[in-house]
Homo-oligomer: A and B are copies of this chain.
Amino acid sequence: MNEIKNIAEDTNYTAVDLGNLNDLMNYSLIHPVNKQKIEGKVFLKDACKLTGAEISFNSLAAKVEQGYFHIHNKNEETYIILKGHGFFQVDGKCFDIKEGSVIRVAPKGIRGIRNDSDDTMVYIVVQAKENSLEEYTTDDGSRVTFDPKW
């Protein structure tokens, strides 16, 4: 079974290594409520000390769907498909997804996902509180003088 490795950490950062992304199926976790084992999934919030989003890597074996549909209370979810192709369904409407597809779902959207390809599907889910982002990108960032050590 894979484990997240710490790379570097200090006051303003935490860096970890998940290993090769083709090996994500070797991660598993025990669902905290129903105690079932979920394979091919790894949450990053605790390992990386995230405070603004929960980010997970997820995988589905060939021709397999996530075994449930779900909604959220406060959080928007964004699905980013990295490998494979299949179907995504929200509120009864189903559409094709593939590598490079990005799907934002509002908390109340009833969502499900299926891998219809012959290989493992890999995708990232970003969970963040709906309407929590204020300023962003260049409005929130400032360039600073620097001295690269590489």
A contacts with B, residue count (CB < 8 A) = 96
Oligomeric state, in number of copies? 2
Q: Are A18 and B102 in contact (CB under 8 A)?
A: yes
Q: Are A53 and B52 in contact (CB under 8 A)?
A: yes
Q: Are B18 and A100 in contact (CB under 8 A)?
A: yes
- Given A53-B128, A106-B11, A147–B92 Cβ distance below 8 Å? yes
Q: Are B32 and A138 in contact (CB under 8 A)?
A: yes
Interface centre among A52, A54, A68 (most CB of B within 10 A): A52
Residues of A within 8 A of B (CB): 7-8, 10-21, 31-33, 43-45, 47-56, 65, 68-76, 78, 80, 82, 86-106, 108-112, 114, 116, 124, 126-138, 140-150
